[in-house]
Structure formats: structure tokens, C-alpha cells
Amino acid sequence: MLMSRDFRLPCDLLFGRLRNISKISCPVEAMHNFARERVNLAREKKTQYDTRATGYRFNEGDKVWLWNLTRQKGLCPKLQSPWDGPYTVLNRLYDVVIRIRK
């Protein structure tokens, strides 16, 4: 405040001054309630998905495709497939590591 006056800021010139904050508090509260409902809905959807989602376990002898992002020189990368294979599963080393052979 300067001599009982509020400062005039550049944002006041661009967007105008807020005269009555009580008019704004109701829509802001409604937006918060709407966002809270959406967050709760997303949380419920996630728990529903997680109950049905299962990981796939590969067994020995299964045929699999390998995701390989290395590109061949001289060919258009847009037309190259990132999948290579089929490969045969030899054995499982760990839960997420599998030995394969072409």
C-alpha cells in the first residue's frame, strides 16, 4: 500500500482488478469439488483394472517377438519394424529375464 492506495500491477492492467473475491470463491470451490470427484473416480478405475490385470508368463518352447529399436542404415526408419523374430524361449533366468534363441 502506498498512501492508503493499492499498487497497480501490470497484471491488473492486462486482466483487470478483482473487486469482490467472494464472487470468485464459490466457483473455485466447485472446481475443487469437481477435481476431487475425478481423482476419486480415477482411483476406483485403477483398482478395478489392477484386480483384472495379470502378467504373462512365458514357458520354455514358446514363440516370442523381440522389441528391438536399433535401425538399419540406409533404410527409412519410419518403415522399419521394431519387432524382430520369432524367437524361441530357452529358459527363465529371473522373473523378468528370459533367454531366447532365434
1 located within any domain: no
**48 lies in the same domain as 14:** yes
Bridge partners (DSSP) of residue 67 are 83
pLDDT of 65 > 90? The answer is yes
pLDDT tens, position by position, 18-53: 666 666 666 778 888 999 999 999 999 999 999 988
Question: Strand order of the sheet with strand 98-101?
Answer: 63-67, 83-92, 98-101
DSSP state letter for 77: G
Bridge partners (DSSP) of residue 74 are none
pLDDT tens, position by position, 84-96: 989 999 998 988 8
Residue 69 is part of which domain span?
62-101
**45 lies in the same domain as 69:** no
pLDDT value for 1: 45
Helix (H) or strand (E) holding 65: strand 63-67
pLDDT value for 38: 96
Number of domains in the chain: 2
5 located within any domain: no
